[in-house]
Amino acid sequence: MANNKLIENQYRRSSLFEKENVNYLVSVLKRFNTVPKINSINIITSISEPDLFKIVPNKSIKIGSSFLEKPVLALIYLRYGIEWQLWYKALDKEKSDIILCDLAAIKVTRIFYELLPKEDKEKLKNLDYFLVNLIKKNEIFKPESLKKYEELQHFHGLNNSNRNSEEVWKPILENLAKPTEYLLMAGGDLRLNIDEFQLLNKYGCRPFPRPEAYTFASSTATSVSNYAFDKTDKARSILIQNCLKKGLKNATIDFSELLKNNLRRALKIKDDCQIIFSPSGTDSSLQIGAITQIMTDKEITHVLVASDETGSGIATALNGRHFENTTALNYPVKQGDKIEGFRDVDLIKVPFRDENGQLKSSSTLDTEIFDAISKTNELGRHVVLHAMDQSKLGYQSPSEEMIGNLNTLDNLSIQIIVDGSQLRLDPIDIRQYLNKGYIVTITGSKYFTGPPYAGALIVPKSVSTSINSVKNTIPKGLTNYYNHSDWPTSWYCSKDLSDGFNYGSYMRWNAAIVEMDRYFKTPILYRNLGIEMFCNFVEDSIKEATFLEPLFGDETKINTYNTEKFGLRNIRTIFPFFILKNNEALAVDAVKKLYILLNSDISDQFESSSLEIIRLAAQKCHIGQAVDVKYGHDFQSAVLRISLGARVISESWVNRDISIYFRNIEAQMNQFTVIIKKIEMILNNPELLK
């Protein structure tokens, strides 16, 4: 075995490194980033035994050099080996339940294979290898069925014990024998599924890192960062270990409570504020609808501000109706049908734009909202005001002054909800809202660039006490939506919810909290300077591009927070713009097509062009999705968005080096310049938009 070397140190000039193979090898090895990182496990390649695959428990994985000539095959075997080592490390000191490691590794590797792009699967199609053949089998693997595959035992050379732990293992395997990237897609809805070619979901991002793309899409959704993915992958490993020690239920409850405490710490909010996790912002609205009818026996009216710039299912959820055909817990339902246990409510929509598509002034919106609340109050109804603190296009309403004027209304019964789903807020803003008794809705998947579908409600102590003092339970139909662990354990109202767990939601929140922690590690002076620097550049660049027309300016800035202090609420961080061709805005379909082209490698359309053009066409640029907005008074167009995300700051702050920090931000500003050039290139080739 003297010829063994660490895989990272081996670069022998073989057919593997021929020119036509290098790019493909690189593309495959990028996926290696989604393989768990395990301390003290070396990956060693054997030259003397090219067909070797050997797991040395708790030490190494040895793989023959011939595997590397088939990179996808090597990736499959290494994914199996590392997952096996992960579960082996999680076992107790006796290390007797080796069949558990075999079972977990084969389950994870099968899912990993299913998540490979179609091109990579084709590479495995005609290969006759034991492990590949096994994961392709349509077989439900159990401990007894795996014992007949002696080759699995030959991988590690250990004997399996006869201990009958299958019932203890079953729920752990069912929930956690899944790759982290798969868990990041779980417990949401079908919009998180990825296609088989580009591995992108509906939001144009992936559940694993996508560092090759220039990404300023935080107003919509972002692919998870390498940093957050690694930390979340580690969290999964620790959770597996704790589940094997303490049991699935106890370990997962501890993990859920740890996440809530970590979120409180990251946002600097009090321990007596309760947190309710949800799979999405729309699910949070459904929770608000449920909480509201617990708190009051009066008839309820929701006043939904920015109804044209919230999620498409928000109004449906507030009405207590199914907003999709499947719940986050994977129960089939019928979109639009009433959820069992919800009372009828009224809902008043207050859109930001008038019937001509023009943005209303702040004073107009204030008047409209105040009148709606005043008239509802005269009817003796309970009002739920959904205030907007930064919509998908960056607007806020109503003003603090208007909210103060509500004190002039007699016998007003009201609960204010602040829609902070973009989370373009500083901790002090959240605390001030909570101190006033407002419930705040947040997500970890917008500004803080966690994986899509991580929603939460933050409930102040005063409201929590009120909810818990009423011995009513939430609508029965919500048992198909949420688990008891998502809600405060002390609340009576949620006691009938399922004892299950939404591991997808937990993993997404873990990634988001990781991003929050590293963002706030950047000193506040440099953080704020970096924000100003980046946002000023984006604003100026959009205004200077003759083929872009900004949908922002002083006349459209709705600001409710009067202070001279710097704050995320007081600076525009979302920059929507129309795209013009011959001084006319593109139609909606053309804007959406351009968005897809931006996020794709389209170099095959420019094969005869210069190298510079080919590189520009190949660059993937992920920005905020199209939002339908009228151009002028009558032409229906759409805007795209460039958005500041927390990673612009946190990934620039390296080794506490100020000069590197600002150079890194400049590099990201240069990325935005490339995006503008690619938009121009697409416009100059109009056949691409047909």
Residue 643, C-beta contacts closer than 8 angstroms, at least 6 positions apart = 216, 217, 218, 219, 220, 447, 573, 574, 575, 623, 624
d(CA 593, CA 678): 13
Q: In the prediction, which pLDDT does 460 show? A: 98
The topology (CATH level 3) of 271-509 is Aspartate Aminotransferase; domain 2 (3.40.640)
pTM: 0.93
d(CA 603, CA 682): 11
Distances (CA, A) of 290 to 302, 476, 487: 12, 10, 12
d(CA 589, CA 595): 10
pLDDT one-digit tens code per residue, 488-500? 988 999 999 988 9
Average pLDDT, the chain: 91
* Partners of residue 58 on adjacent β-strands: none
Section 162-167 average pLDDT: 63
**Residue 92: pLDDT band with limits 50, 70, 90:** confident
Count of alpha carbons within 13 angstroms of residue 579, beta-carbon side: 31
Question: Which residue do the tokens 């579960």 mark?
Answer: 87
Distances (CA, A) of 653 to 229, 445, 446, 514, 551: 19, 21, 20, 15, 31
Listed in order, the ranges of the chain carrying CATH 3.40.640.10 are 271-509
Distances (CA, A) of 209 to 31, 65, 277, 546: 9, 27, 24, 34
pLDDT one-digit tens code per residue, 326-365? 998 889 999 999 999 999 999 999 999 999 889 999 999 9
| % of the chain at pLDDT higher than 90 | 78
Question: If you ran DSSP here, which 8-state letter would residue 353 be given?
Answer: B
| % of the chain at pLDDT higher than 70 | 93
Q: In the prediction, which pLDDT does 145 show? A: 81
Question: How large is the greatest C-alpha to C-alpha distance in the chain, in angstroms?
Answer: 87
Predicted confidence (pLDDT) at residue 2 exceeds the cutoff of 80 = no
pLDDT one-digit tens code per residue, 514-545? 999 999 999 999 999 999 999 999 999 999 99
* Partners of residue 55 on adjacent β-strands: 61
Greater confidence (367 vs 12) lies with 367
